[in-house]
Chain A
């Protein structure tokens, strides 16, 4: 396995982490949207809180997908075709969600339709990405050519993958609550409801994480199958997840008394760090495997050694990344700086 392949393995998880943190909070806002908003003004604030940034956030997913295609074509082909119906559900969700944003504003009569699209379009990806990750970790039946041989869609749903789906969902909800607590007008009912939601959702995330760790250890009989060199990073990342989430919970609890300070921002950042730690913990646990093969498989798991592009291709991609990434980061700094601070509806 070449150094470039190792680099791209972790770069893809970096892109996934970027997606999970950034789109995670706007998916979370979309899931909370029907429950946390009491009137049109609340809905307006929710939309304004993510309006300028959600589109750029979603590009992280397209980039992660493109990078997986580019760096590990076999893993991309196997997962996207093996999870066909699940991926298509995510796709339809993302489609109706994207247009619901723009069409809602221009079409007063159809607002109900676009509200439903916005909610479902946020809920389905949040759950299904977790389910997909659960399958990749637990292993799926593969034939010698690397094709999924299990039952379409239903074969992907097991208690374990449901748990991973639930963890993804709860992390998104917690991130969404943190974001709304940070962006909604200070002291508004919406802001207070969001702030109160943070602690319980983070607590559930922590419980789910511990449960999953225990289940995974029981399934795999320890960490023998994981790469030994990454034992220390794994331990540190697990600790980082717990500490960051704990800190976010402490701030969320404290923040109920003093929202004026930077508590909301730090709570959101703590939540985001825990999400990054979770993704890299996953990376370090799976390395060098991209897609596990379940015991009934006739083919081998997809790894860095058998699923990667050539070093020539990875080299070109590395150059493209080195040129492109600084710009991408600059755009993000620009947009988040321009729209910093709490949402203020001008027409009041």
Chain B
């Protein structure tokens, strides 16, 4: 079929594009939200000017990233109605309550206290300023909970029943729906991954300063904070990821079978990498036989139904095995796992060589500096591929007929779109999303790169217009006086130094 006439496919591409893009900035925002709150608290406790400058740099990076996360999040809320009208009609009775809770509990919290962080330095008490930083972070972490409740319900529906006409899912028990079988493991898995992302961004900035041989005190502090947050998050992440995998094993058999490329019923292996040929239904893989079975159940030979057997189950309502994107799900899942390995290696290296007084440390190891500078790519890829595993692995259903789900409460993706939206309209908006999101990314990169380059300095500019601009960006100083000019020169010097190298 011509892709430009396939409204379902176009809507799926648009959702995948906008959700993935949104999910670039959400992890950075929530991840560095914690880092920002930590540095703001630190500056409050030490009352040290350098610590204060470092905290302010992270506030600036945080607010610029927060803005783009919020902006691209509006797309997600609107898109349920614009592109997925039939889906909205089906799940509205259930999906709406968490969404309303997200807005009331989380969005107001984060956006209003963000106003205090950006503009409130001279207006509120320092302790309240610290509280605002933590409340903003809490708000963003809370908004992640509600949207994951909604998404987890689509993976493992609960607390609901099918309406008598069969067209809607009706809520019967709010808490059963909100804390459905996959909510808690998936929330923990996701939020911990986001914190790892924040830790790696922090470590990368520290490594870049070490590479440039500047801001050594701030760099050491960032390397330490990033390392500690990273290690703690990764340790818990391992537990949460395991719980997610067990949940998939118990609840979403077709997803698990796709993740391991398993067409026939057997004890699933734990493969490192491979390739699944969907036509011949053969998987060429390297792995431990029965490994996945062992991880999920503790025994090496627990049989698991393959896709061909699952297709015969009434539960899956005429599943067409040859239409399933098995190789895609297999690959993204295994990329995620491989990235986790790289994350652990990077963290270990950063910890071993990160001690400030060590003779042989990150600060004089060029190769390690470079590795750490590019290292945010690993959690970034892990997060993107992990999310793709969860969402593509759920296909061909938008609401998945999970093992413990209520009778009849599921929905096929291809009947979930908006009947009144023409394919050409989606083509237009897809093109616009490309353009606008590209502009956003370039704009964001310019701003954040500039903040990082300027670094944790008291950048009090010399002329008034710029001072006003910086002031509004959240960097306010009560005593713009003689030293303002001196420090402005310092910024210039730093920027030219950066450019010269």
Contact = CB atoms under 8 A, between A and B. Distances in A.
Interface of A: 40-41, 44, 47-48, 51-53, 55-56, 58-59, 62-63, 65-67, 69-74, 76-82, 84-85, 87-88, 91-92, 94-96, 98-99, 101-103, 105-108, 110, 113-114, 143, 145-149, 152, 309-310, 312-313, 316-317, 320-321, 323-325, 327-328, 331-332, 334-335, 338-339, 345-348
Nearest to B433: A92
Interface stretch (B87-95, B184-192, B255-263): B87-95
Contacts of B275: none
23 contacts: A48-B472, A63-B107, A73-B93, A81-B81, A84-B425, A88-B429, A91-B74, A94-B74, A99-B67, A99-B444, A102-B66, A103-B446, A106-B450, A107-B447, A145-B419, A309-B92, A317-B100, A320-B105, A328-B108, A331-B109, A334-B112, A335-B115, A347-B468
Contact of B92 (A65, A74, A81, A339): A74
Interface in B334-373: none
A294 to B, nearest CB: 14
Given A88-B432, A145-B419, A347 B64 contact: no
Contact of B77 (A40, A62, A108, A143): A62
Contacts of B102: 66
B16 interface: no
A152 B80 CA distance: 18
Contact of A70 (B99, B436, B480): B99
Contact of A103 (B64, B104, B420, B476): B64
B112 A332 contact: yes
Given A77-B88, A145-B419, A106 B100 contact: no
B259 to A, nearest CB: 32
A53 B119 CA distance: 10
B235 interface: no
Given A65-B77, A324-B104, A102 B468 contact: no
A205 to B, nearest CB: 28
Chain A interface helix/strand/loop/mixed: helix
Contacts of A44: 465, 468-469, 472
Interface stretch (B120-128, B197-205, B212-220, B375-383): B120-128
Contacts of A146: 89
Contacts of B109: 327, 331
Given A69-B99, A331-B112, A152 B422 contact: yes
Contacts of B422: 152
B67 A101 contact: yes
Contacts of A62: 74, 77, 103, 107
B437 to A, nearest CB: 9
Contact of A327 (B95, B108, B174, B473): B108
A79 B466 CA distance: 45
Contact of B444 (A103, A149, A339): A103
Which are the 7 A-B pairs with shortest beta-carbon distances? A73-B92, A70-B96, A80-B81, A324-B104, A81-B418, A347-B467, A105-B473
| Most chain B beta carbons < 10 A, residue from A56, A67, A94, A347 | A347
Contacts of A152: 421-422, 425
Interface residues of B, number: 87
Interface of B: 60, 63-64, 66-68, 70-72, 74-75, 77-78, 80-83, 85-86, 88-89, 91-97, 99-105, 107-109, 111-116, 118-120, 122-124, 168, 170-172, 174, 418-422, 425, 428-429, 432, 436, 439-440, 443-444, 446-447, 450-451, 464-473, 476-478, 480
Contacts of B466: 108
Contacts of B72: 95
Nearest to A96: B436
Contacts of B171: 310, 312-313, 316
A48 to B, nearest CB: 6
A302 to B, nearest CB: 11
Chain B interface helix/strand/loop/mixed: helix
A52 B71 contact: no
Contacts of B83: 81, 84
Contacts of B471: 345-347
A334 B432 CA distance: 38
B480 to A, nearest CB: 5
Contacts of B78: 65, 80, 87-88, 91
B85 to A, nearest CB: 4
Given A81-B420, A309-B92, A347-B464, 15 more contacts: A47-B472, A52-B118, A59-B108, A63-B103, A63-B107, A69-B80, A78-B85, A81-B83, A96-B71, A103-B446, A105-B469, A108-B466, A313-B96, A331-B113, A347-B471
B112 A55 contact: yes
Given A51-B472, A56-B108, A313-B93, A81 B82 contact: yes
A171 B357 CA distance: 63
A82 B422 CA distance: 10
Nearest to A70: B96
A19 B118 CA distance: 22
Nearest to B103: A63
Given A77-B85, A87-B82, A59 B111 contact: yes
Contacts of A72: 92
Given A99-B440, A317-B100, A345 B92 contact: no
Contact of B96 (A71, A95, A113): A71
Contact of B120 (A73, A77, A338): A338
A102 B67 contact: yes
Contacts of A309: 92-93, 96
| Most chain B beta carbons < 10 A, residue from A47, A309, A316 | A316
B436 A92 contact: yes
B100 A66 contact: yes
A102 B100 CA distance: 26
| Most chain A beta carbons < 10 A, residue from B60, B74, B112 | B112
A199 to B, nearest CB: 30
Contacts of B75: 91, 95
A106 B67 contact: no
B120 A106 contact: no
Given A99-B443, A339-B123, A321 B104 contact: yes
